[in-house]
Amino acid sequence: MSFSATIKKELTQLEAKPCCRRAELSALVRMNGSVQPKPGGPVVEITTENPSTARHVFTLLKQLFQVQPEILVRRKIRLKKNNVYMIRLSEKTAWILSMLGIFRKGSWERVEGILPDLLKKPCCKRAYLRGAFLAAGSVNSPDSGSYHMEILSTYHDHSQGLLDLMNHFHLHARMIERKKGYVVYIKEGDKIGEFLNIIGAHPSLLRFENIRIMKDMRNSVNRLVNCETANLNKTIQAAMRQIENIRLIESEIGLENLPPRLREVAETRLRHPDVNLAELGQLLPEKVSKSAVNHRIRKLNEMAEKLRENGKTSDEPSST
Ligand SMILES: [Zn+2]
């Protein structure tokens, strides 16, 4: 099950307060519903691909209006997609649509934005957002690449209403136009967490926050590791240079002809190319400090540099 589907399942299992049911159902019907004119009176059809959302709409309609809607399942065969569930309501439709603040009382005039009457209490504001998310919301799983939560709505005025409602809760939501309508979205991980909290998706919120914290931690661990790797690379590069120099001395002079202290360091370095200077000091027959090793290594490096200088002059063709 996708992260969005898990959240939706959780949301439909919440017991909504009686005052909140109208707001939640209003968002669901407005965003997933359509009105069909029929000889016996208009029929309202609410469609969703999510079975728990379908059950939830059915229950809310029954609880609020004491009606008996039908539930239909349509299988999408052509496209390998989810089933479509449809709640069909054919009684008291005009009254229900006006009670839900979708059409104006006694007319078929659509209410613009969100009817303020639905949003009087803070709990009902949250319920409206919950309904909107159930109807047309999705959120990326926190372990996917990026944080993204969005709700799609057909009408600009309604999306503006959702945007205002989200930003009433300081969620930093924004809106863009898409082919199918207007999308209100949140991009910040902490704000998506707050949104999940506001709509009441608490188990998913915990999962979301755990993964988010793990991800942030992993990022800072990676930064540390990169830093250490850089230091390690420096040590290795220095050791490589030293070995190159020692090899040059070996071939030009012979290590056996070096003063004993330098010879010890040179031979130990060749045997242990991967240790740092402090460790190298501990590997010598008579243990010495890092600075003592450093001093001897510098001598070897200077010696090699001189050999290179001399090599150059003798290799260069005479100008006379
Ligand atoms: Zn309420």
pLDDT one-digit tens code per residue, 284-311: 988 999 999 999 999 999 999 999 888 7
Range list of β-strands (E), the chain: 33-36, 43-48, 70-74, 84-89, 137-139, 149-153, 174-178, 181-186
149 confidence band (pLDDT: 50, 70, 90): very high
Q: Which residue has better confidence, 230 or 176?
A: 176
Cα–Cα distance for residue pair 17/118, rounded to 1 Å: 13
Q: Please check whether residue 75 is in contact with residue 49, taking contact to mean a CB–CB distance below 8 angstroms.
A: no
Cα-to-centroid distance, 123 and ligand 1 (Å) = 4
pLDDT at 319: 42
Residue 157 CA to ligand 1 centre (angstroms): 23
pLDDT at 183 over 90: yes
Q: What is the pLDDT of residues 73-112, one digit of tens each?
A: 887 666 666 788 999 999 999 999 999 999 988 777 889 9
Q: What is the pLDDT of residue 316?
A: 45
Helices (H), 169-201: 189-199
* 116 Cα to the center of ligand 1, angstroms: 13
Single-letter amino acid code for the residue at 165 = L
**Percent of the chain surpassing pLDDT 70:** 95
Residue-wise pLDDT for 232-263, tens only, equals: 777 778 888 899 999 999 998 899 999 999 99
Instruction: Compute, in angstroms, the gap from residue 235 CA to the centroid of ligand 1.
Output: 65
From the CA of 100, how far away is ligand 1's center (Å)? 14
Task: Identify residue 31 by its one-letter amino acid code.
Answer: M
Sheet (strand 137-139) strand order: 137-139, 149-153, 181-186, 174-178
What per-residue confidence (pLDDT) applies to 317? 47
- Domains of the chain: residue spans and CATH: 3-200 (3.10.28.10), 228-312 (no CATH)
Among the listed residues 136, 266, 126, the one whose alpha carbon sits nearest the alpha carbon of residue 197: 126
Determine the pLDDT at residue 15. Answer: 86
Residue 222 has pLDDT above 90, yes or no: no
| Ligand 1 geometric centre to CA of 214 (Å) | 35
The pLDDT, as a whole number, for residue 292 is 93
